[in-house]
Amino acid sequence: MIWVVAALIFWAAMFWLNIRLSKSAQSHTRAVRLLVPAIFGITILVVWEGVVRGLNVPGVILPPPSAIAARISTSLPVLWADFVQTFVKGALSGYVIGCGAAVLVAVAIDRSPFLQKGLLPVGNFIAALPIIGTAPILVMWFGFDWQSKAAVVVVMVFFPVLVNTVQGLAAASAMQRDLMHTYSASYWQTLFKLRLPAAMPFIFNGLKIATTLALIGAIVAEFFGSPIKGMGFRISTEVGRLGLDMVWAEITVAALAGSAFYGLVAAMEKGVTFWHPSQRRS
Amino acid sequence: MSRALPVLTVVAAILALWYAAAVWMNATWTRDQAERAGVELSVSDILTDTMAQERPVLPAPHQVVTELWNTTARKKVTSKRSLVFHGWITLSATLLGFAIGTGAGILLAIGIVHNRAMDMSVMPWAIASQTIPILAIAPMIIVVLNSLGIQGLVPKAIISAYLSFFPVVVGMVKGLRSPDAMQLDLMRTYNASGRESFWKLRLPSSMPYLFTSLKIGIAASLVGAIVGELPTGAIRGLGARMLTGSYYGQTIQIWSALFAAAILAACLVGIVGVLQRVTLKRMGMDQ
C-alpha cells in the first residue's frame, strides 16, 4: 500500500510542478519545453512502478519498469540479434528498395499525364488498404528469412512514397518552369535542378510516413513465420511463454528504433529542404 | 469522366500483369506434374492449367473473384465458411474500437487545447508515439486480457482504439487550434465564455481536420482488428482466415480474405468521405 500512496503523492507533486512550469514566465524557453514532457514521462514510469508493486500485480500481466530495464540489460545480445534481423535486414533494406523504386516510378510516370491521372487515384486507394494482409502471401513466396520481410516492407512503403513524389513533382510553379525553359534547359536539367529539389518536401513527407510503416511491416510479417530470431518472432513466442518482461524489452527497442529512424529522416529533411518555409526559423 | 479512362487503363494493366504473373509463377508446378506423368505439354495446356490450380502460388484474378462470390453470396451468413460472417466479426471489433478511440481522442484533444500544462506534457508524446510501431504490442494485449478473463471482441477493439486514437488526437488538436487570433478576438469582443467559443467557433472550425483524421483512423482501426486476430490463433475473423490459409497453403483463401479486407476498408473510408462531404456542405465549408 505504501508504494501506491508514494506513487500518488509523487504524481500529485509532479502534476503541480508541471502546471507551475507551464504557467511560469520561462514556459517558452527550450529547456522548459523539453523538461515538461520529460517530467510527464518519468511520472508515468514512477506511477506504473509504484502501482504494480503496491498492488502486487503479477509479472505475467504487467511487469514493473525496473524489471523491464533489468531484462534489457541482461539480454542485450539477444535484443541486438533481433534488432539486426528485423530492422537492419528486413525493414531497412525493404525501405531503401521500396522508396527508391517509388521515386523512380514517379519520375517515369511523370512524363505521361495520362498515366499520372490513372495511377494517382489507384495509388491513393491502395495506400488506404490493409496492405499488411499481403504478409502471409509474401512469406509463402520468399521464405521465412528476412527477404520476405523486406518484400512486405517494399509493398507497404511503395504507394505512400509514390503518391507523395508524384504530387511533389507537380509542385514547381509554371513561372519557374518557364524560367528553366528560357534558359533552354533540357528535360533532365529541369528535373534535377528544379523539379526534384522542389519536390523534396513532399518526398520527405512520404519518407517519414514510410519509416513507421516499414517497422510495422517487418515486425508483423514475422508473426507469419520467421527464423528463430527477430523482434516480431520474439514478441509472439515470449507472449506465448508469458515472458512479458522480454516482450516489453522488445517493444522498448522497437520504439527507440522507430523514433531514431524517424528522427534520422527528419534530420535529413532539415538538411535537404533548408529553404522551405516550414524549416526556416521564424 | 476525363479521369475514368486513365484509371480504367491502369486497372486493366494491373490485371494483365497479374494474369501474366500467375501463368509465370504457377507454370513450374504444372511442368513438374507433367514431367512426373510423362506428358508433353503444349503452351495452351500450360495456360489452362495455371489458371485453374487448386493451390496456386498466385491465384488468377477470376479464381479470387469466384472464391469471393462463393464464400459471400452463396453461403449462409451464419456459416463458418462465409466471408460475410468473418467480415462481420472483424468489422464489429473495428467499429467498437474506432468509436472508443475517436471519443477518447477528441476528449484528450479538448483537454490539450484548454490546458497548457497538458498540452506541454502530453502533446510531444502523442506526436512521438506516431513514430513507434504500436502494432507490435497487439499480441501482448490479447494474451494479457485473455489471462484476465477478457476474450473475443474487446481485446481486438482495444488494439483498434489504440491505433485510431493518436491520429485523431493530433488532427483534432490542429483543428481546434485552427481559428486564428482575429476570430478568437471577435469571440472575446462578443463577451463569449470559453464554453461558448468552444461550441460556436473552435468545434465547427475543427471539422475538416476531424474528418481527415477519421479517414486515417478508421483504416488504422481495421488494420488493428485484423492484426489482433493473428497472434492468438483465433478461428474467426478476416485475420484468422489469412492465418489459417497460410498454415494450410490455401492461397485462394488468403487472397479472398485480403480482398474482402480491402473492400471493407474502401467502404469504411468511403462512408467517412461521404459523411465528410455532407457535413461540410451543410456547414458551408466545402470547396
B12 & B121 share domain: no
**Is the model's pLDDT at B48 over the cut of 70?**
yes
> How far apart are the C-alpha atoms of A74 and A184, rounded to whole Å?
64
* Overall number of domains in chain B: 2
> Does some domain include residue B234?
yes
B149 & B229 share domain: yes
Mean pLDDT of the region B250-273: 87
B160 & B274 share domain: yes
Q: Are A220 and B124 a contacting pair, CB within 8 Å? A: no
Structure confidence at residue B101 (pLDDT): 92
- Name the residue in chain B with its Cα closest to that of A240: B143
Please answer yes or no on whether B139 and A235 come within 8 Å at the CB atom.
yes
Phi, psi dihedral angles at B231 (to 5 degrees): -75, -15
- Nearest by CB: A239 against B3, B143, B261: B143
B54 & B157 share domain: no
Which residues of A are less than 8 Å from B160 in CB distance? Answer: none
> Does some domain include residue B287?
no
B34 & B98 share domain: no
Among B117, B120, B217, CA closest to A16: B117
> Does some domain include residue B201?
yes
Structure confidence at residue B97 (pLDDT): 92
User: Chain A within 8 Å of B137 (Cβ-Cβ)?
Assistant: yes
B112 & B176 share domain: yes
Q: Are B167 and B220 a contacting pair, CB within 8 Å? A: yes
Among B163, B258, B171, CA closest to B213: B171
**CATH code, domain carrying B266:** 1.10.3720.10
Mean pLDDT of the region B46-70: 79
Structure confidence at residue A184 (pLDDT): 92
- Name the residue in chain B with its Cα closest to that of A266: B131
B106 & B204 share domain: yes
B95 & B209 share domain: yes
Please answer yes or no on whether A22 and B2 come within 8 Å at the CB atom.
no
B117 & B232 share domain: yes
Q: Are A18 and A33 a contacting pair, CB within 8 Å? A: no
Structure confidence at residue A16 (pLDDT): 84
Please answer yes or no on whether A36 and B121 come within 8 Å at the CB atom.
yes
The CA dihedral of A236, A238, A244, A246, to the nearest 10 degrees, is -110
B177 & B95 share domain: yes
- Nearest by CB: A259 against B132, B135, B246: B132
> How far apart are the C-alpha atoms of B132 and A219, rounded to whole Å?
12
Largest CA distance in chain A: 79
> How far apart are the C-alpha atoms of B92 and B154, rounded to whole Å?
10
Please answer yes or no on whether B258 and A137 come within 8 Å at the CB atom.
yes
Q: What is the mean pLDDT of each run of 10 residues along chain A (282 residues)?
A: 83 83 77 83 87 82 87 89 88 93 90 81 78 82 86 90 88 88 91 90 89 87 82 84 85 88 90 78 56
- Nearest by CB: A118 against B10, B255, B261: B10
A-interface mutation test, from B26, B90, B123, B140, most A Cβ less than 10 A away:
B140
**Is the model's pLDDT at B65 over the cut of 80?**
yes
Structure confidence at residue B232 (pLDDT): 61
Structure confidence at residue B1 (pLDDT): 53
For residue A107, give how far its alpha carbon lies from the nearest alpha carbon of chain B (Å).
Answer: 17
Supply the pTM of this predicted model: 0.82
For chain B, the DSSP string reads -TTHHHHHHHHHHHHHHHHHHHHHHHHHHHHHHHHHHT----HHHHHHHHHS-SS-SS--HHHHHHHHHHHHTSS-TTSTT-HHHHHHHHHHHHHHHHHHHHHHHHHHHHHHHH-HHHHHHHHHHHHHGGGS-GGGGHHHHHHHHHHTT--THHHHHHHHHHHHHHHHHHHHHHHHT-S-HHHHHHHHHTT--HHHHIIIIIHHHHHHHHHHHHHHHHHHHHHHHHHHTTTTT-SSSHHHHHHHHHHHT-HHHHHHHHHHHHHHHHHHHHHHHHHHHHHHHHTT---
Q: What is the pLDDT of residues B20-35, one digit of tens each?
A: 888 888 877 777 777 7
- Name the residue in chain A with its Cα closest to that of B143: A239
B264: containing domain: 83-282
User: Chain A within 8 Å of B181 (Cβ-Cβ)?
Assistant: no
Cα atoms found within 13 Å of the Cα of residue B139, Cβ hemisphere only: 28
pLDDT band at B231 (very low <50, low <70, confident <90, very high): low
Which residues of A are less than 8 Å from B254 in CB distance? Answer: 136-137
For residue B40, give how far its alpha carbon lies from the nearest alpha carbon of chain A (Å).
Answer: 27
The residues, any chain, with a CB within 8 Å of residue B251's CB and separated by 6 or more, are: A137, A140, B55, B56, B57, B58, B59, B245
> How far apart are the C-alpha atoms of A191 and B44, rounded to whole Å?
46
